[in-house]
Amino acid sequence: MSDEIEIDIDDLKRRMEGALAALRTEFGSLRTGRASASMLEPIQADAYGQMTPINQLGTVNVPEPRMVTINVWDKSMVGKVEKAIRESGLGINPQLNGTIIMLPIPELNEERRRELTRVAAQYAEHARVAVRNVRRDGMDQLKKAKVAGMSEDENKLWSDEVQELTDAYIAKVDKALEAKQEEIMQV
């Protein structure tokens, strides 16, 4: 392979890994009937004029399997944090106890479980699209390299490598989705 024309496979791999990491974060926010501090990560409250993640406004704890507590540091922020949780769509009803907000995690019914598996499938599809976009960028680099003088054989080798990388990351997304759906449907 020529030294002057190089496709940055490591960059493509890093970007595909980023799409997979984003998917894992989104999956962490889906509640599965068990308490998890990560389910609050995407929720932000209006604090001092800007949107701030809840975990930066108080201490998030999981004292028992079906309870999450948030000890809000600034008493004036308790109402705003509670409002953000109510409006988040998590389906959790916060209970106030001074500066501590308790979030009892209710049992998931069958309908809600099916709904969450559909949401997980949407998240996975977004991740697949992101991986395919990285693949498209890699193929565009190859087209430019071909115009710049890359041989036909070398171009084919690189495009096969980009496609193999894409297939591997799509498989990882599918495997993560399957695991998450199984976790959601577990009673």
What average pLDDT does the segment 11-20 reach? 93
Statement to judge: residues 113 and 22 lie in one domain: yes
Do 113 and 98 fall within a single domain? no
Q: Are 114 and 100 members of one domain? A: no
Compute the Cα dihedral for 79, 83, 84, 86 and give only its sign: positive
Are 67 and 119 part of one and the same domain? no
Give yes or no for residue 5 having a pLDDT over 60. Answer: no
Tokens found for residue 88: 């988040």
| Count of domains forming the chain | 2
What does the block give as tokens for 56?
A: 């930066």
* Containing structural domain, residue 158: 9-27+109-185
| Mean pLDDT score, 113-128 | 89
In a domain, 3, yes or no: no
Contact indicator for 5, 145 with CB cutoff of 8 Å: yes
Last residue of a domain, one of 104, 126, 160: 104
Residue with the bigger pLDDT between 61 and 3: it is 61
CATH number at residue 148: 1.10.132.20
> What confidence score (pLDDT) does residue 6 get?
66
pLDDT at 187: 64
185 compared with 167, residue with greater pLDDT:
167
Is the residue at 150 inside a domain?
Answer: yes
Tens digit of each residue's pLDDT (9 = 90 or more) over 98-114: 889 998 887 778 887 88
Q: Are residues 157 and 114 in the same domain?
A: yes
What residues contact residue 82 under an 8 Å CB cut-off, 6+ apart?
A: 94, 96, 101
User: Which residues on adjacent β-strands are paired with residue 44?
Assistant: 53
Instruction: Classify residue 165: in a domain, yes or no.
Output: yes
pLDDT above 50: residue 153? yes
Same structural domain for residues 129 and 116? yes
Residue 32: helix, strand or coil by DSSP? coil
